[in-house]
């Protein structure tokens, strides 16, 4: 497998391979992506950066891989604001099933990403700050509602992320940012 040398250039599969073979220390991987995130802060991809370590004893297919998570998906102890001032102090005590499954597979949280307020729109505008911008055209929006996740993945701040999609909320920003957004079938 061809492995680019910089963590920001790794696909999800390459990040998994590097972290599994101990070629890259998880701390160095986290710092490389945190540095890239600082360099690209102008994209407004994150509402809350964390760069958490995976929980102790959680080794699996995603062991140590950093993921971005849309800020309407609960991660225990991390704010879930849904981009609205009314939820600024909402710190869930339990993680969503989607995040819990990723964490159980060893994933680490890079941060909670920007979204259209209450995930109800296609532009990515929210009341907590400026909207996420398109990494390929920073004078354009990333779309919505999973705008921050699409911007983070397209800018290679993380190799993958979680969003939500009812009417195109993952697929629209993915298409605008030039990446793949996947909405699984209902009940999967």
The DSSP line for 5-44 is SSGGG--HHHHHHHHHTTSS-HHHHHHHHHHHHHHTGGG-
* Percent of the chain clearing pLDDT 90 (strictly above): 80
Closest CA to 68 of 134, 160, 142: 160
In a domain, 78, yes or no: yes
**C-beta separation of 123 from 115 below 8 A:** no
Crossing angle of the two packed helices 26-39 and 12-20, in degrees rounded to 10: 150
In whole angstroms, give the CA distance from residue 14 to residue 122.
Answer: 31
Could you report the per-residue pLDDT of 79-110, keeping only the tens digit for each? Answer: 999 999 999 999 999 999 999 999 999 999 99
Active-site residues: which are they? 70, 145, 169
For residue 160, the domain's CATH number is 3.90.1300.10
How many domains does the chain divide into? 1
User: Token pair for residue 79?
Assistant: 């704010």
Q: What is the pTM of this model?
A: 0.94
Alpha-carbon distances, residue 50 vs 75, 86, 136 (angstroms) = 11, 21, 25
Q: Assign residue 156 a region: left if phi > 0, alpha if psi is -120 to 50, beta otherwise?
A: left
Residue 101 phi, psi (nearest 5): -65, -40
In a domain, 36, yes or no: yes
Residue 185 has a pLDDT of: 84
Closest CA to 151 of 128, 165, 134: 134
In a domain, 110, yes or no: yes
In a domain, 170, yes or no: yes
Could you report the per-residue pLDDT of 124-172, keeping only the tens digit for each? Answer: 999 999 999 999 999 999 999 999 999 999 999 999 999 999 999 999 9
In a domain, 104, yes or no: yes
Residue range of the domain that includes 164:
7-177
In a domain, 140, yes or no: yes
Alpha-carbon distances, residue 173 vs 30, 59, 117, 135 (angstroms) = 25, 31, 15, 11
187 falls in which pLDDT band (50, 70, 90)?
confident
């Amino acid at each position: 497998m061809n492995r680019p040398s910089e963590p920001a250039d790794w696909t999800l599969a390459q990040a998994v391979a590097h972290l599994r073979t101990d070629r890259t220390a998880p701390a160095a991987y986290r710092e490389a992506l945190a540095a890239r995130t600082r360099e690209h802060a102008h994209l407004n991809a994150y509402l809350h950066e964390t760069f958490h370590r995976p929980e102790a004893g959680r080794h699996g297919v995603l062991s140590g891989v950093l993921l971005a998570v849309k800020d309407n998906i609960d991660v225990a102890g991390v704010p879930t604001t849904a981009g609205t001032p009314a939820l600024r102090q909402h710190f869930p005590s339990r993680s969503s099933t989607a995040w819990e499954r990723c964490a159980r597979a060893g994933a680490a949280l890079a941060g909670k990403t920007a979204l259209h307020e209450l995930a109800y729109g296609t532009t990515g505008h929210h009341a907590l700050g400026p909207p996420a911008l398109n990494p390929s055209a920073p004078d354009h929006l990333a779309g919505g509602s999973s705008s921050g996740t699409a911007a983070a993945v397209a800018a290679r701040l993380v190799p993958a992320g979680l969003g939500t999609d009812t009417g195109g909320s993952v697929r629209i920003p993915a298409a605008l940012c030039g990446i793949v957004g996947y909405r699984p079938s209902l009940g999967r």
